[in-house]
Chain A
Amino acid sequence: MIDHPTRDAGFGVYVHWPFCASKCPYCDFNSHVRHQPVDQERFLAAFRREIAHTAARIPGRTVTSIFFGGGTPSLMKPETVGAILDAIGAAWSVDAGAEITLEANPTSVEMERFRGYRTAGINRVSLGVQALNDTDLRRLGRMHSVDEALAAVTIAASIFERSSFDLIYARPDQTPQAWRAELERAIGHAAEHLSLYQLTIEPGTWFEKLHRAGKLTVPDDDASRALFDLTQEICEARGLPAYEVSNHARPGAESRHNLVYWRYGEYAGIGPGAHGRLVTGNARLATATEKHPETWLERVERDGHGIIDEEVLTADAEGDEFLLMGLRLKEGIDPRRYTRFTGRTLNERRIRTLEDHGLIVRRADSRLTVTREGFPVLNAVIAELAA
């Protein structure tokens, strides 16, 4: 059949729930706050239609992972989640061992729904803990306390087969000592997986306004590099090494869904502002849906899908995306796959320059991987390789 160098990386379905109870000041994701109750029935119907529409374009796939992201998907009723999973199961076949993740906020309200989600088919949760410091949680605009968050982590671990939580570090005024203590404490509660993101000031966020006005200082390059290095050191020592720039897991507990992205597999994006990479024929399509929830809803009700951007990727664009995603992983990339996408090999001279600087290595199995030194400057490494 089709010999597209993507198949072996799996097929994931991403479902975006675009609503939050409140907007966090650092967040530039596609999230919206509604003061009227959201009509979940109507959205569910639209999700169903978009799933069916996508399945008609790329039929016959076996789903290896499903991910509910947001926004705050834990604001969905468990029945809504279950119905969406049913729709996915009807559209494609779902692998028996598929990883099905839902992002959740660690508040007491949401904890009450955990059992329902488990019943609906969710087998992994990812909790937005973000900090183990009540002052910083407030500054980050979070609506939970440290105690509440840790309780949620414990309950999640007892209900779901797998779980993870997120922390944001390199926060304003955060010292290495404070972060060390916080991270050690977090690891003590972490079952198998942690996502540790450095705070970045994103355009259009409230933090950006404060930052521009000089009212918010984040650590400079040196300080944030030191925090990054410290994070690697602690996590390695505690058996949670980084398998991706910001993601740490006990071996075998990596997020399979995110691996689909990073291994540049095939994925469908369902819901407002979701991105997909669909393989049709020999082409890879990049799809993006309307971001505004109600506009997306109307589009789906009218057209059967909310896609407003669709592009057939050129060989070079595919090659670039493959590098951008793949080099984030500790396992790196297979350069032969780059050649299969682009029809050319990576520039040998540039590889050597990067090797000389100790930023990448070529492993015995010929995979190209980024080193501990290379990860903090990954954007520059990729720009060099892709130029």
Chain B
Amino acid sequence: MTTRTFDNIRNFSIVAHIDHGKSTLADRLIQTTGTLTAREMTEQVLDSMDIERERGITIKAQTVRLEYLAEDGKTYILNLMDTPGHVDFAYEVSRSLAACEGSLLVVDASQGVEAQTLANVYQAIDANHEIVTVLNKIDLPAADPDRIKEQIEEVIGIDASDAVPISAKTGLNIEAVLEAIVKKLPAPKGDADAPLKALLVDSWYDAYLGVVVLVRIIDGTLKKGMTIKMMGTDASHGVDKVGVFTPKMRDIGSLGPGEVGFFTGSIKEVADTRVGDTITDDRKPTAQALPGFKPVQPVVFCGLFPVDAAEFETLRAAMGRLRLNDASFSYEMETSAALGFGFRCGFLGLLHLEIIQERLEREFNLDLISTAPSVVYHLRMTDGTIKELHNPADMPDVMKIETIKEPWIRATILTPDEYLGAVLKLCQDRRGVQVDLNYVGKRAMLVYDLPLNEVVFDFYDRLKSISKGYASFDYHISDYREGDLVKMSVLVNAEPVDALSMLVHRNRAESRGRAMCEKLKELIPPHMFQIPVQAAIGGKIIARETIRALRKDVTAKCYGGDASRKRKLLDKQKAGKKRMRQFGKVDIPQEAFIAALKMDS
């Protein structure tokens, strides 16, 4: 058995900051190689979900096989792996990158390197990728390719002298990109005669085919009719269909070393397939699994409750449907005194949370209330056991807790110089520890360690607002650190509202509590009686506001016998009441649960 190079194949991914033109370039590559006719091209072929298109992000890894007749007269198979670009999906990205030998680094020729570009390109470099640099949007008047090349060399530390200047929008120089892929990126290596060894890159649910698994073959051959084994889960499945995406699914019966494609089989749920797992021949397994496999760990949790309690079952069904396609999202039933029946859900990050919530509301027509996002805390109990805490409402008796650890992130922030002061203050306010401060041209590059629990609130919104949208931000989870954390409860009319409780750092509790009470005072309408709103740690009140009783609202004069007009007003009032949650004697508008979390510190 011998390893050889499969010279006619190139596997590559595209690294880019959002809006720098990744999807447009992908479309151009598909078009230029004649893979799809112009008629078949819908805008941005690869991002197929509505949300993906609207937000310009990729959630699921996708692939397309291009056949390219190069200048040297040979035809190459180019597998473009479109990877999720967001930190929430960092693990999925790392697996997609592991399936390729090289990357195109796409940088906007006027805007230059962004924080997201940096994070992703370093991942590609970590995956031993060769990098081809592409300068996009050179047709724009503001384009300054020489300056950006310098910046790339300076910041990223790679040679950008032969960067390919293109305009994906106008189609300028796309051939040069294809030539660079063939000439500069290495061909895959593998052993065709060895037992099957393939990387599970991603998977999704298809209504007709069941679970579709995206794979990269390292050694051996994946054939229709064989039985494969997932080494991580030890489950075996028969293989029904083996093929490639062009980008339409094309059945080709088998895939060999270096190839990227899909298979379907007797797999019921996406949850049965783990991204990063090694797929091998059930009868003749490979000796060693691929490195780097790890099970998905939700990082951020929040409660999701139907606005209309009658929609609980619909919500349950909707979550089941979404989970069919997204095994990284988890949920279990939760009961809240304030919000009734709902689910505690785990997500890979804040973007993932937003996407799932949006999909539930949009695709299943649900109105949802979400509670404060919470991170996973590690509690060391006085009896020596370790507990994971996903929901502040479940916080055990403090007397039984020895220490609490919380997750920290390492964040990279790029900001124009004039906003540096404000960004530094924001990071300091959020308990950040500065690791590095550098200049990239005229922009400051900050590296900060921050507690994730300070970031899940409104860090990103604040960062965008204090930098007028110019600062870019990326992060990865770094470690767990001990923190002086306390549970802050919120009491409305002297009753604790479980859905508003949260863990906060002791030093930040008072200001957080004050901000929360002030916000609730704004959001809860005056009632017929006075309502105290308090924040408390244990039995100690740390902040208090009072919502004054309604003073006067009666309509002075009725116009003749026009009861209809008053009835319409009453109907409006009733509809408003319906959108509130009755808590004790107090009606709390559902916006309060969300807006109370978005506050300045």
Contacts and interface: CB of A to CB of B under 8 A. Distances in A.
Interface of A: 12, 14, 16, 29-30, 67, 69, 197-200, 221-222, 224-225, 228, 245-246, 260-261, 267, 269, 274-277, 286, 288, 311, 317, 320-321, 324-325, 328, 353-354, 357, 359, 375-384, 386-387
A320 B529 CA distance: 23
Contact of A378 (B551, B554, B564, B577): B554
B570 interface: yes
Contacts of A288: 562, 564
Contact of A380 (B528, B558, B559): B528
A325 B553 contact: no
B551 A14 contact: no
Contacts of B558: 261, 325, 328
A225 B557 contact: no
A190 to B, nearest CB: 18
A50 to B, nearest CB: 15
Given A222-B551, A382-B570, 16 more contacts: A16-B560, A30-B559, A67-B560, A200-B556, A269-B560, A269-B561, A276-B561, A288-B562, A321-B567, A357-B529, A376-B553, A376-B554, A379-B569, A380-B528, A384-B528, A386-B570
B553 A379 contact: yes
Contact of B564 (A12, A197, A286, A386): A286
B566 A377 contact: no
Given A221-B552, A228-B552, A320-B567, A379 B573 contact: yes
A275 B552 contact: no
A271 B550 CA distance: 38
B527 A379 contact: no
A261 B563 contact: yes
A375 B554 contact: yes
B318 to A, nearest CB: 29
Contacts of A376: 551-554
B542 to A, nearest CB: 29
A224 B553 CA distance: 10
A298 B574 CA distance: 38
Contacts of A14: 560-561
A320 B564 CA distance: 10
B529 A286 contact: no
Contact of B567 (A16, A29, A324): A324
A277 B563 contact: yes
B555 interface: yes
Nearest to B577: A387
Contacts of A29: 559
Taking each of B550, B564, B573, B577, which has the highest tally of chain A beta carbons within 10 Å of its own beta carbon? B564
B528 A261 contact: no
Contacts of A383: 570, 573-574, 577
Contacts of A320: 567, 570-571
Given A198-B556, A376-B551, A386-B574, A381 B528 contact: yes
Contacts of B400: none
A275 B528 contact: no
A286 B562 CA distance: 9
B585 interface: yes
A357 B570 contact: no
9 contacts: A16-B560, A225-B552, A269-B560, A325-B563, A359-B528, A377-B552, A379-B553, A383-B577, A387-B574
A357 B553 contact: no
B561 A197 contact: no
A267 B553 CA distance: 27
B556 A246 contact: yes
A281 B551 CA distance: 42
A377 B561 contact: no
5 residue pairs, one from A and one from B, having the closest CB atoms = A221-B551, A378-B554, A225-B551, A383-B573, A379-B553
Nearest to A376: B552
A200 to B, nearest CB: 5
Contacts of B562: 275, 288
B556 A245 contact: yes
Contacts of A325: 558, 563
B570 A261 contact: no
A171 to B, nearest CB: 12
A380 B525 CA distance: 11
Given A383-B577, A387-B577, A324 B566 contact: yes
B130 to A, nearest CB: 64
Nearest to B573: A383
A275 B570 contact: no
Interface string B577-589: 1000000010000
Given A14-B560, A383-B573, A357 B554 contact: no
B528 A377 contact: yes
A67 B551 CA distance: 33
B557 A197 contact: yes
B585 A353 contact: yes
Nearest to B554: A378
A14 B571 CA distance: 26
Nearest to B569: A379
Contact of B555 (A224, A274, A379, A384): A379
A224 B555 CA distance: 12
Contacts of B567: 317, 320-321, 324
A321 B569 CA distance: 11
A196 B585 CA distance: 33
Given A69-B560, A321-B563, A357-B529, A245 B554 contact: yes
A210 B321 CA distance: 55
Contacts of A16: 560
Contacts of A354: 528
Nearest to B578: A387
Taking each of B554, B561, B562, B574, which has the highest tally of chain A beta carbons within 10 Å of its own beta carbon? B561
A200 B558 CA distance: 12
Interface in B525-563: 527-529, 550-563
B528 A267 contact: no
Interface string B482-526: 000000000000000000000000000000000000000000000
Contacts of B557: 197, 200, 246
Contacts of A375: 554
Contact of A277 (B528, B559, B561, B585): B561
Nearest to A247: B557
A108 B577 CA distance: 50
Interface in B46-98: none
A228 B561 CA distance: 24
A222 B553 CA distance: 11
A198 B558 CA distance: 12
B539 to A, nearest CB: 27
A378 B557 CA distance: 13
Contacts of A353: 585
A307 to B, nearest CB: 13
Contacts of A321: 563, 566-567
B553 A275 contact: no
Contacts of B585: 353
A245 B557 CA distance: 9
A276 B563 CA distance: 9
B570 A380 contact: no
Interface string B433-469: 0000000000000000000000000000000000000
Contacts of B528: 354, 357, 359, 377, 380-381, 384
A353 B557 CA distance: 27
Contacts of A387: 574, 577
A320 B559 CA distance: 17
A157 B562 CA distance: 29
Nearest to B557: A197
Contacts of A225: 551-552
A376 B567 CA distance: 18
